[in-house]
Amino acid sequence: MEYKLSNNELAAMGVFTAFVAVSTMIVNAYVPATKGFFNVGEIMVYTSAILMGPIVGSFAGGVGSMLADVSLGYTVYAPGTLIIKGIEGFIVGYLVQYRFKPDSKNRLKTISLAAGLTFALLVLWGGTEYFTGNLEFTIGIAPSIITGIITVPEIFWAAIAIMSFIFIFSAGLYLDPKIGWLVIAILIGGGEMIVGYYIYETIVLGQVLALAEVFVNIGQVTIGLLVAIPLSRSINRIMPGIRRPRAKTAEPK
């Protein structure tokens, strides 16, 4: 079946590709526990996929992230990034917009509960284990860069985990029962990114510290999820016509 991009999607490809590239480049943090670098590019990868679907999400995620790698001097990562982030954006966009059509609101609420609990435990474990203590960060693009050190206590991640669970579960119950599925879709897409980079760094680049990058990538998925869901909902509320119109489906009973 032929798929023709709408004018909105064509414009969104350029806009979101730029957003992904800039967000990847502009905020970075060095994580001593893993000797890896953390960025917030995942936020815009997920936002583009949620709002515009798999085609725009794939293009913006892959091309935008690849451009950031090239601009920052990490050209050795660029080929892998193009494929890995492209697939990630496609997975999230496809699952969010096309795949899941349950016929029961109770089922959606159960998914919200499971998604909230899973994500909260992931935040608590990953945050306290790898992102606690002194973190070196940079904001900006050379030559205008601000650097500094922030200290993150363990209680911060406990608070984030509790708030994340409350938000996801409450939103699934009272705001939008599909919130839980958004979380699961992002976790599946993020899982592909984590595994993809591990394979690329291990097999293609031959890096012995590839396992350490797994935990940094888990952190990127976590932050991306926390910000992308409310951000995409806010954008869609302000610009309700941003998505490509699709055929209506029956509402959950």
Model confidence pLDDT, tens digit, residues 41-84: 999 999 999 999 999 999 999 999 999 999 988 899 999 999 99
- Give the mean model confidence (pLDDT) for residues 115-132: 85
Contact 222, 193 (CB under 8 A): no
User: What CATH number is given for 8-238 in this structure?
Assistant: 1.10.1760.20
C-alpha span between 171 and 50 (Å, rounded):
17
Per-residue pLDDT at 17: 96
Global pTM?
0.81
Higher-scoring residue by pLDDT: 216, 177 = 216
Percent of the residues in the chain that have a pLDDT greater than 90, as a whole number: 34
Domain residue ranges of the chain, discontinuous segments joined by + = 8-238
CB atoms near residue 187 (< 10 Å): 17
When the pLDDT of each residue in the chain is averaged and rounded to a whole number, the result is 83
CB atoms near residue 82 (< 10 Å): 18
The CA angle 90-123-211, to the nearest 5 degrees, is: 70
C-alpha span between 8 and 10 (Å, rounded):
6
